A and B are shown apart, each in its own frame.
Chain A
Amino acid sequence: MTAVDAARLQFALLAGIHFLFVLVTLGLGPVVAIFQTRWACTGREVFERATRFWGQLYLINYALGIAAGIVLELQLGLHFPGLLDVAGGVFGAPLVIETMAAFFLESTFLGLWVFGWHVLPRAVHTAVFWLVVLTGYLSAFTVMVANGFLRNPVGFELVDGVARITDARALIMNPAAFLSSMHVLGACLVAGGFLLVGVGAWHLRRSSSRLPAVVDAGLPGDAMSQENALWRLSVRSGIVTGTVGAVLAAGFGFAQFSYVDAEASTSQAPGVVGSAYALMIAFANVVTLGGLVLLLLLAGNALFRMRRGVRNGLYSVLTFLLPAPFVVGILGWVAREVGRQPWAIAGVLRTEDAVGDASLTAVVTSLVVLVGTMLALAVADWTVLTRLARRGDARLVLGAPPSEVLSGAAEPEPVLTFGGVR
């Protein structure tokens, strides 16, 4: 292995880890925002629970998403200084906008959302989360503008081997940025949909569908238990989100072939890129079809009223499929990045010329340290996500009053009365 390979492997692994979190952030964000909006408008408890349960999962996922993104941001300067020497003036622009405008605002608003829960008026609090979602999408788009420039460099000129922007509009409207952003957005919604459906179905399989008190009294009717209302809402929202996402991902996925030369890309590594393409297309078709069937089954709540055996079987399958969109999402990036090789910037700069002169030992050491740390943290994060998803809406910390969170104290010390004693 050369230092070039090690640097590329390190970037690929870190980008892959980062993207797994991005899928959930972008896929779940709008759904949580809609839950909260409905809560703000109707005041119904099920929407409050949905906002707090899914908001908490969103946050735990976001935490590592930020961390992985930070590590990724410094990869370019650390290992690919040639990219900055040649195209820093072009490539750096969307990235600095990303950090300055999008990510900076996103994090500020998210801080306001979490820690302003009991302080801000409900309408403002809801608006703040919509701003989190909006700036999150802006952030993703600017990253795609930077990545799109690598794939399909437009709107620039080379002067003495250094690129500079001549047409900012072309850079932003680059099909490699715009079409691919929409494709990625679709993929994220699919992932968010699978998560909502998978977790919701897991709980539906276990929670009784009728109020225990009604059952105990031997009464007929299907008054729903509160948990059941939450998990049905989750599954319904997930089916809608996932189907919309699959249609977007497939439509804009094919539209990308307007600028991607599929044959040239595939020829780079036929086994990898070719099978990735085939798998993505098959997955999009299956999800679209399956999504449509499930949408039809939502009519009259048929999905939740099927015979117990059939219903539980379906729930199990839906939960089992939860990781699928994540695997396919990673394959999408593998196809895109491998397909561009041997170029870092298509037709302008070769990857091997973009790599810095750090020694193989240094790159491998940092690979082990950074990827090892990120993987360990990611596994810890997914463990927590799984445990919290299984715990359901009991003991939610997000949006709970502080006295409730701290009630684990053996005996209430004065310090816990919060601001009482000075």
Chain B
Amino acid sequence: MNAIGWGLFLTVLLLGWVLIDGVVQGGAQVARPLARRDDPRRRVVLAAVGPWLLLGEVWLVAAAGVLLAAFGHVEAELWAAGYPFVVALLCAWVVRDAALWLRSRLSGRRWRAGWDVALEAASLVLPAAFGALLGVAWLRFGGTDEGLALASPGRDAALTVLVPALLAALCLTAARVHGALTLASRAPGSLALEARRRVRTALVPLAGLATVAALAALVVAARGATSALVAAAVLLALAGVALAARFELDRGAVEHPVLSGVGYAAVAVPVVATAAVAGPEVVAAAASAQVLHDLTVPVLAAAAVVGVAQAFAWLVLLRRPLGPRTVVFF
């Protein structure tokens, strides 16, 4: 597999993470408003998104592994430029995991309330930090050799703040829509109704953020990364889909292709856009052809086995609505 193949592989792994783990992040974001103070209701919410946790977070671990082995220089540069975001991402990740695993183990009211706050905060920071890192990737690997040293330093200084902030907000909102939509289709009765309401309020901000991000992509394209035009296109498309979904919800639609697709599109588009913006430079900075060649067979073989195992797990766990045999562990 050549560098482009590895780049695509990395993109697929990141997509896997946002699509699966995004459900947990978004579900946890809306768990408090949905459950209010009712503990069993909250546990139903957590049971609805719980099976996604173990299946999802490994995708980002695998992506980090591929980044380390095939794009070591990219990783080093990205971590150096986005150091605080990496630390925030790690902290949010471990706090989120611990909160999910530990909250329901003991029954003290303060114990559970404390972990609920931690879970919600971490589920906001996690997608935001990931989005901010995507933004850093836009700036580091989107055109201009020196990263930011360009003719007008003022504009670029603004970009270094704005692009990560913008993508952070976009990823956060996207996860919210994705998680709440999954709850709407899996959770019973009143929970589904409330979840749909959260989706509705988040869709317009999502469309707005996607539009502004498309403009930012155009600016990056002007700096020399022509491929950012693709990013602008997919981001605009996302804005359109989000508005269409809002329209369908306002009409009272429950089942509609736009509604079932908007969550997936929302979390996937930032990753796809980043692949478009940063892809060419990231691929150019890949490890030597020899290293890539040596890794190809073992990694692809592993990916095939993992694919089978994950597909089996999805069929067993995720395709059935909540029912008497649903495991309530979280």
Question: Chain A interface (Cβ within 8 Å of chain B)?
Answer: 59-60, 63-64, 66-68, 70-71, 73-74, 76-78, 81, 84-85, 88-89, 92-93, 95-101, 103-105, 107-112, 114-120, 162, 164-165, 168, 356-358, 362, 365-366, 369-370, 373-374, 377, 380-381, 384, 387-388, 397-398, 401-403, 405-406, 408-409, 413-422
B188 and A104 contact, CB distance less than 8 A: no
Whether the Cβ atoms of B191 and A415 lie closer than 8 Å is yes
Q: Provide the bound-state CA to CA distance between A119 and B325, in Å.
A: 7
Q: Considering the complex, give the chain A residue whose CB is closest to the CB of B290.
A: A164
| Set of chain A residues within 8 Å of B299, measured between Cβ atoms | 96-97, 100
Q: Do B75 and A77 touch across chains, with their CB atoms under 8 A apart?
A: yes
Given known contacts A63-B102, A78-B86, A388-B105, what 15 new A-B pairs fall within 8 Å (CB)?
A63-B101, A74-B79, A81-B79, A88-B68, A92-B291, A96-B299, A105-B306, A107-B54, A112-B312, A112-B317, A168-B294, A370-B87, A381-B102, A409-B40, A421-B189
Residues 20-70 (chain B) with a chain A CB within 8 angstroms: 38-41, 43-44, 47, 50-51, 53-55, 57-59, 61-62, 64-70
B80 near A: Cβ within 8 Å? yes
Please tell me which one of the listed residues B70, B97, B98, B309 contacts residue A109 in the complex, with CB atoms under 8 A apart. B309
- A115 and B287 within 8 A (CB): no
Taking the closest CB of chain B, its distance from the CB of A150, in whole angstroms, is 15
22 contacts between A and B (CB under 8 A): A64-B98, A66-B57, A66-B97, A74-B86, A88-B287, A89-B290, A92-B287, A95-B69, A98-B65, A101-B301, A103-B58, A105-B306, A108-B313, A111-B53, A362-B83, A370-B87, A370-B90, A380-B98, A406-B40, A413-B41, A418-B44, A419-B322
| Residues A115 and B329 in contact, CB atoms below 8 Å apart | yes
Contact A100 B87 (CB under 8 A): no
**A149–B26 Cα gap in the complex (Å)?**
41
Cβ–Cβ contact B44 & A415, under 8 A: yes
CA–CA, A362 and B98, complex, Å: 25
| A369 interface neighbour in B80, B87, B291, Cβ under 8 Å | B87
The closest CB in chain B to the CB of A131 belongs to B309
By a beta-carbon cutoff of 8 Å, the part of chain B in contact with chain A is: 38-41, 43-44, 47, 50-51, 53-55, 57-59, 61-62, 64-70, 72-73, 75-76, 79-80, 83, 86-87, 90-91, 93-95, 97-98, 100-102, 104-107, 188-192, 287-288, 290-291, 294-295, 298-299, 301-303, 305-306, 309-310, 312-313, 316-317, 320-329
Q: Which of B86, B98, B106 has the most CB of A within 10 A?
A: B98
Asked whether, in the complex, the Cβ of A99 is within 8 Å of the Cβ of B95, the reply is no
Q: Is the CB of A118 within 8 A of B40?
A: no
Kindly state the separation between the CA atoms of A47 and B235 in the bound complex, as whole angstroms: 55
Residues of A within 8 A of B40 (CB): 406, 408-409, 413, 415-416
Task: State the CA gap A362–B51 with chains docked (Å).
Answer: 36
Q: Which residues on the A side are within 8 Å of B95 (C-beta)?
A: 373, 377
**Minimum CB–CB distance for A399 against chain B, Å:** 8
| CB-nearest residue of chain A to B114 | A380
Give the shortest distance, in Å, between A276 (CB) and chain B (any CB). Answer: 29
Decide if A96 touches B69 in the complex (CB within 8 Å): yes
Give the complex CA separation of A415 and B36 in angstroms: 14
Which of B94, B290, B322 is within 8 Å of A377, CB to CB?
A: B94
Are A100 and B303 in contact, with the CB atoms below 8 A?
yes
| A418–B51 CB distance below 8 A | no
Chain B's closest residue to A87 (CB) is B72
Given A70-B93, A81-B76, residue A100 in contact with residue B83 (CB < 8 A): no
Chain A contacts for B324, CB-based, 8 A: 401-403, 418-419
Which single member of A76, A97, A381, A415 contacts B302 (CB below 8 Å)?
A: A97
Q: Enumerate chain A residues within 8 angstroms of B44, measured Cβ to Cβ.
A: 406, 415-416, 418
Question: Are B86's CB and A88's CB within 8 A?
Answer: no
From A105, A397, A418, B326 is in contact (CB under 8 Å) with A418
Q: Is A405 in contact with B98, judged by CB distance below 8 angstroms?
A: no
Which residues does chain A contribute within 8 Å of B94, judged by CB atoms?
64, 67-68, 70-71, 373-374, 377
Q: Which residues of B contact A73 (CB under 8 A)?
A: 61, 64-65, 68
Closest to B75 in A: A77
Nearest CB of chain A from residue B320's CB, rounded to whole Å: 8
* A384 and B106 within 8 A (CB): yes
Residue of A nearest to B292 (CB): A89
Which of A104, A111, A356, A369 meets B317, CB within 8 Å? A111
Beta-carbon contact of A422 and B188 below 8 Å: yes
Residues of A contacting B190 in the complex (Cβ-Cβ under 8 angstroms): 414-415
CB nearest neighbor in B for A98: B65
List residues of chain A with CB within 8 A of the CB of B188.
414-415, 417-422
Chain B nearest CB: distance from A396 CB in Å? 11
The verdict on A422 contacting B72 (CB below 8 Å), with A66-B57, A111-B54, A164-B288 known, is no
* With A100-B299, A115-B51, A416-B44 as contacts: A92 and B317 at CB distance below 8 Å: no
Chain A residue, CB-CB nearest to B41:
A415
| Residues of the B chain whose Cβ atoms lie less than 8 Å from the Cβ of A357 | 80
Chain A nearest CB from B96 CB (Å) reads 9
Specify which chain B residues have a CB less than 8 angstroms from the CB of A99 in the assembled complex: 58, 61-62, 64-66
Contact of A112 among B61, B287, B316 (CB under 8 A): B316
Chain A positions within 8 Å of B301 at CB level: 101
Q: Is the CB of A77 within 8 A of B317?
A: no
In the complex, residue of chain B having the shortest beta-carbon distance to the beta carbon of A100? B302
Query: What's the nearest-Cβ distance from chain A to residue B79, in Å?
Result: 5
Q: Which of chain A's residues has its CB closest to B309's CB?
A: A108
Chain A residues in 8 Å Cβ range of B104 = 397
- Minimum Cβ distance to chain A for residue B109 (Å): 12
CA distance A73 to B89 in the complex (A): 13
- Decide if B306 touches A111 in the complex (CB within 8 Å): no
